[in-house]
Each structure stands twice: as structure tokens, then as C-alpha cells.
């Protein structure tokens, strides 16, 4: 068997998963993630393990031996699932095994902005002790502040539970109202426009789909408080990044924290990175040692099942079996 990694895995934490894959055959790492390169290198491979690269219909059509495509994450928007299903190629992903990791990262970003952590760090290193007084008007407590959660799925619920420990008022907007969650946590259901107007912090936890693409644009940022902070750890595509830049640059909102971007990796020359009221991390919210080991082992076990002709536990396209 030949297994192609579109991007290298991380040896120190991924060894347990790599050892499982090595028992099935040879592991190769692609020399590049362009479509033409992957067409060439996936030709005689049995399995593809992909992280961020795009697995297009052309790549799938050229891979005659391919049996399974495994995505090291929940979303499969970078895989042409329809083309894979048409060739009876199984697509597997990972269940949400990093829920706590992402929720903790969200709270980390919220606290970093509320307490001006990055600016204090930069200025103290320069010897500017007086920054403590200069930033006093911007240094706020979270107790009593309103957290707006857009998308109350598994991760949104975890964020709500953790934020309750900080004595925040929590409002949420989701496709489905969650009466049990409202009763358990004392959170409030509302429409998006009301959430935008009332929330001091807004965190996004929706999947990227046609109805959510660029759901946060100029009008949404205008509807927020000037003192509000915006956090996105879901998918870069749910935000119009130019509109966010304009809102931050014009101080129409107080700040933002992004773990995901419209294009990844984001270019170092992107104008948004020059803004001081923005905190950025490299799509790492769910990327901890603890969650990663569980995820890669689970994924490797599903790849083995597929290569052995068995049904993977986390199969995305069940029609591929017909």
C-alpha cells in the first residue's frame, strides 16, 4: 500500500498515528500541494491524508488506485466529495475531538483582548512601565459583560459552559434553539441582529457553507458596539476580511482575534496584520498535543479500516459504499 501525506505530519506528536499507517505500507510526503503536483504524486497511491491542501476532482480522477481520502479535521470543504463518491472513494474526517482545546483558545483570545495582554507585553519589554496607566481605560473585566455565540454546536456549547465560570451573560444565535442548554446554563436565545447590538464579545462557531459564506460583512460590523470585540476560530470564509479590516482600521469596533483567514497561510504582507487592535494565531485553536494525538490515531485507524475493505467509523460519504 502507498499512503500520501499532502503535508508532513508532526513527528513528535503524530508518531502513534504514523506507526499505525506504516504497518499498512509506504508513507510518502508530497513535495508540493499544487494541483498539478498532487495529480502526479497521487497517481499510484492507495490513500491520501490531507490537512489544508485542496483535493480537486482532477486529482481524484487521476488517482486510479485511490481508496480513501482522510482529512485531519472536521471540515471537508477542501475535498471534492462528489467526485470521490462518484469513483467509490471513501472520504473520512475527524469527529470533534478538540472541543475543549478550541473553547479554551477562544477564552484565551477574549482574555488577551480584554486585558490588553499583547500590548502590555510589548511595552514592558521596551521599558515602558507607564503603559499600565495609559491603557487603563481599555482594560476591562469580563464579569457582567455579554458574550454572543453564533452557532451553538458542540464547540459553542463548550465555550458557553466555560464563559459561565467568568460570570458573563451569554446570548446565542443558532439554526436550532437549544432549550436544554438555556435551562442548564441560563443562556438566552436571540436573533443575529439583536446579538450584534448587545454583545461585548462575539465568537463564531459555524461551518462554512453557502449560507454562512461571508456572513460577517460591512453591515454586521456596523451593527456591533464600538466597544465590541470579534473572535473567529471557525472558518476564514465566514468573514469578509476586507470589511473586518475597514471596521478595525476605522475603530468601528474595538478589536478582533482571528485564528482562521480567507486564505491560509495568510501572507505576511497582508494589510490586516499591521493593525494593532488585532490578535492573530495560525489556525491553531484545536491544535494541542493532547487533542492531536487522539485525532491522528483515530484518523489512522479509519484509514486502515478503509484499506482493509471495512467501513470507517467517521465516513463522510456513505454513498461511496453503494
The catalytically annotated residue of 205, 235, 287, 292 is 235
Coil, helix or strand at residue 240: coil
Residue 198 bears catalytic tag: no
Report the alpha-carbon distance of residue 211 to residue 231 in Å, rounded: 19
Measure Cα distances from 221 to 165, 170, 224, 244, 278 in Å. 28, 19, 5, 7, 15
The catalytically annotated residue of 283, 287, 292, 305 is 283
* Secondary element (H or E) of residue 132: helix 131-134
For residue 314, what is its C-alpha cell? 467517521
Closest CA to 250 of 280, 265, 272, 270: 272
Q: What are phi and psi of 280, to 5 degrees?
A: -130, 145
Q: Cβ distance 259 to 106 under 8 Å?
A: no
Task: Give the distance from CA 276 to its chain's centroid.
Answer: 23
Residue 283 bears catalytic tag: yes
The catalytically annotated residue of 213, 219, 263, 264 is 264
* Secondary element (H or E) of residue 99: helix 99-114
Closest CA to 53 of 33, 70, 69, 73: 33
Q: Cβ neighbours of residue 279 under 8 Å, at least 6 residues apart?
A: 109, 112, 113, 118, 255, 256, 257, 258
Closest CA to 149 of 182, 112, 111, 101: 182
Enzyme catalytic residues:
235, 264, 283
Amino acid at each position: 500500500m502507498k499512503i500520501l501525506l499532502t503535508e508532513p505530519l508532526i513527528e513528535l506528536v503524530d508518531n502513534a498515528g504514523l506507526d499505525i499507517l506504516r504497518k499498512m505500507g509506504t508513507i510518502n510526503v508530497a513535495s508540493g500541494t499544487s494541483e498539478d503536483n498532487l495529480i502526479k504524486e497521487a497517481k499510484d497511491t492507495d490513500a491520501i491524508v490531507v490537512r489544508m491542501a485542496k483535493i480537486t476532482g482532477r486529482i481524484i480522477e487521476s488517482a486510479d488506485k485511490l481508496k480513501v481520502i482522510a482529512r485531519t479535521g472536521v471540515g471537508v470543504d477542501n475535498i471534492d466529495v462528489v467526485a470521490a463518491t462518484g469513483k467509490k472513494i471513501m472520504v473520512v474526517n475527524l469527529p470533534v475531538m478538540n472541543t475543549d482545546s478550541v473553547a479554551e483558545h477562544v477564552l484565551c483570545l477574549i482574555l488577551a483582548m480584554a486585558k490588553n495582554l499583547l500590548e502590555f507585553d510589548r511595552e514592558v519589554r521596551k521599558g515602558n512601565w507607564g503603559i499600565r496607566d495609559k491603557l487603563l481605560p481599555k482594560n476591562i473585566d469580563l464579569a457582567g459583560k455579554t458574550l454572543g455565540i453564533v452557532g451553538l454546536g458542540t464547540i459553542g456549547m463548550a465555550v458557553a459552559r466555560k464563559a459561565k465560570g467568568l460570570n458573563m451573560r451569554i446570548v446565542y444565535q443558532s439554526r436550532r434553539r437549544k432549550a436544554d442548554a438555556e435551562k442548564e446554563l441560563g443562556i438566552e436565545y436571540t436573533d443575529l441582529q439583536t446579538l450584534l447590538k448587545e454583545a461585548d464579545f462575539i465568537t463564531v462557531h459555524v461551518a462554512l457553507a453557502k449560507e454562512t459564506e461571508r456572513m460577517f460583512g460591512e453591515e454586521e460590523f456596523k451593527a456591533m458596539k464600538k466597544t465590541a470585540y470579534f473572535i473567529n476560530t471557525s472558518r476564514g470564509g465566514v468573514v469578509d476580511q476586507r470589511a473586518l479590516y475597514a471596521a478595525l482600521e476605522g475603530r468601528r469596533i474595538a478589536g478582533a482575534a482571528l485564528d482562521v483567514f480567507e486564505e491560509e497561510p495568510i501572507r505576511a504582507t497582508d494589510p490586516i496584520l499591521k493593525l494593532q487592535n488585532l490578535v492573530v494565531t495560525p489556525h491553531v485553536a484545536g491544535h494541542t498535543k493532547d487533542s492531536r494525538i487522539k485525532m491522528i490515531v483515530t484518523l489512522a485507524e479509519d484509514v486502515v479500516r478503509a484499506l482493509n475493505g471495512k467501513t470507517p467509523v467517521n465516513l463522510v460519504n456513505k454513498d461511496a459504499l453503494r
